[in-house]
Every structure is written in C-alpha cells, then in structure tokens.
Amino acid sequence: MTGRVFNIQHFSIHDGPGVRTTVFFKGCNLRCYWCHNPESQAFLPEVGFDSARCISCGKCVSACPKSDGVRSAIFDNCDGCGCCVEVCYTGARKLYGKDYAVDEILTDVLTDRDLYDKTGGGVTISGGEPFMQTDFLLALLSALKSEGIHTAVESAAFVDWGKIKKALPYIDLYICDIKSADDEKHMAATSKSNRLILENITKLSRCTNLLLRTPVIPGFNDSENDLSAIADFIAALPKVPQHELLSFSGICKGKYKALDRDFKAENLSPPTRNEMERFAEIFRRRGIDCTLND
C-alpha cells in the first residue's frame, strides 16, 4: 500500500513527547487562512518555485512535458510529474508530494529508534489531514505499533467518527486543534463548520489520550471572549485534556510565494510572549493544564 507524503521530518520536538519523526501526509479538507503548511492542502503533488534561486538555465523548460517551449507549465497546467525538479540543480524547484510504501516510511523512521527510546519519543503522523488517507494511515500506524513505537496523530478531526474509532487502538496520543468555539467564525476562517470537530473532540476526550491545541491568530481568536469560549468548552469535556497554545507565525510566507498563492495572514504580527502568557491564564483559571508550545 502506498500513501502520499510531502515531508518526513526527523528530530522534531514540537509534535508530541520526546524526540520524534513527523510524517506529513498530503491533503487536507480544511483551508485555514493562516495555514503554516500550504503545501499540505492539495492532495495532488505540486511544484514550488523560488525565483531567487533560479539562474534561468532553461533546463526545466526542456524537461517539462507540458511546456510551450518557452516556459514550463508551472503553475497553471502543472500536473506535479516532477520532471523539472529532477533537472533543477539550484533547488529553485521543489516537489511537494511523493508516494511511499508503508515499508519505506518504516525503514526511514526506525533509523531513530534509539533516540525514541532514550527520550520517550516516537513517530507523529501529521499533515494536512492524516484521515484523508485513512487506509494508509491505518496500515502505517499498525506497522509502527508492531515495532513498539509510540505513535501520535495530529488531526483536525473533521472526519467521520467511524474512521477515527478504527485508528484509536494504534494511537498513543491524539493531537487536535480547537481553533474557535464559534461556528460562523470557524466556517469563515477554515471553510468548514466546527460542529463535527467539537463532537469528535468530546468523544475523543472520553476514550483516548488527547492533547488539544489552539493556534492563536491575531484578529481571529485572540480576544478574551474567543479564548474564554474555547476554554469553557474544554473545561466541560468529560475528561479535561491537556492543552497547548501555539503562537501564529508568519514564517511560512515564502512557501505561499513559491506556490503562487495569496497568504491572507501575511501582515499579521505574532502575539508577544506576555500576551501568550496572559492567554494561557484564561485556560488555567478554569483548571486546564495549559502550556505554551514555542
């Protein structure tokens, strides 16, 4: 079985306990306007282009089956075949999305087994939305568990509960964003309602080890009211999970440019450390174990 992945990141320390390898699945069913990984959103492979690295050698034009002989197909007609990336020696072109077999990923992530053992780490499957490729996710999780590896899944939980339920026996830690308690705001900012997500979070809190995360996005959810509504929802869950606040960061700006996409959060400034501490208090006041993930 193969699945589509756009990055395998070793030595990750922000995606669960210990030192981890994070496998990023391609494809997401949300479209958060601040998304840190725009290359994760489309399921089809895509090519990014960094003009600052281009020396105009023209090799990509010759290699591109969809070229008109003057320019390569990027971005309009590109089908992500990757031929231009292979001949671009400056790295101006980068392919996002490659199909891997479960065994290929397993061999790669097991190179760090000693590190997982020493630090209490493991493997995190992120995205995108990992449940967009549920069969592949199940196969990979089951292979990891048969090797005794700690597994975490980062998922926005906008997915049928039946799929999540099937995966739970293989997941040691479920990491899920809670971006807004207000359905209209959530819909406007991510393209989807939060109802299914909140329902799934409630179910997850009953039956698995859950870590909730809130990305703090200036102008979207960084008010006392918005964060209090999220905190109230968490405090009322059947079993109150741990919670992390993540600060918005605009460092992904270059990726949007490379993919020729608008970055609607481009002009936002990240919250200060003091503001983040103040936001965390909103959760702590309600008895929630809230930390800053930075």
Residues that bind ligand SF4 (CB under 6 A): 28, 30-32, 35, 37, 40-41, 47, 54-60, 63-64, 66, 72-74, 78-84, 87-88, 90, 92-93, 127-129, 156, 190
CA distance 201 to 187: 17
Choose between 145 and 257: whose C-beta lies nearer to ligand SF4.
257
72, 84 in Cβ contact below 8 A? Answer: yes
Say if residues 160 and 3 touch (Cβ distance below 8 Å).
no
The DSSP annotation for 51-113 comes to GGG-----HHHHH-TT--SSS--TTTT-----HHHHH-TTS-EEEE-EEEEHHHHHHHHGGGH
- Residue written as token pair 């996409």: 261
For residue 63, the minimal CB distance to ligand SF4 (Å) is: 6
User: To the nearest whole angstrom, how small is the minimum distance from the Cβ of residue 60 to ligand SF4?
Assistant: 3
Q: Let me know: does 108 contact 23? Beta carbons within 8 Å.
A: no
CB of 255 to ligand SF4, least distance (A): 11
Residue number with CB closer to ligand SF4 (42 or 110)? 42
User: Which residue, 132 or 149, is less far from ligand SF4 as judged by CB?
Assistant: 132
Query: 106 vs 125, which CB is nearer to ligand SF4?
Result: 125
- Comparing CA positions, the residue from 250, 251, 231, 249 lying closest to residue 241 is 231
Report in angstroms how near the CB of residue 15 gets to ligand SF4 at its nearest: 13
Pairing of strands 151-154, 173-177: parallel
CB atoms near residue 270 (< 10 Å): 16
- Give the residue with the Cβ less far from ligand SF4, 156 or 245: 156
Q: How far is the CB of 253 from ligand SF4 (least distance, A)?
A: 15
Nearest distance from C-beta of residue 96 to ligand SF4, angstroms: 10
Nearer CB in complex with ligand SF4: 5/106? 5
Question: Based on CB atoms, which residue is closest to ligand SF4, 67 or 205?
Answer: 67
**Where is 146: in which H helix or E strand?**
helix 134-146
Give me the least distance between CB of 101 and ligand SF4, in Å please: 22
Distances in Å between the Cα of 18 and the Cα atoms of 10, 29, 215, 217, 271 are 12, 29, 21, 27, 26
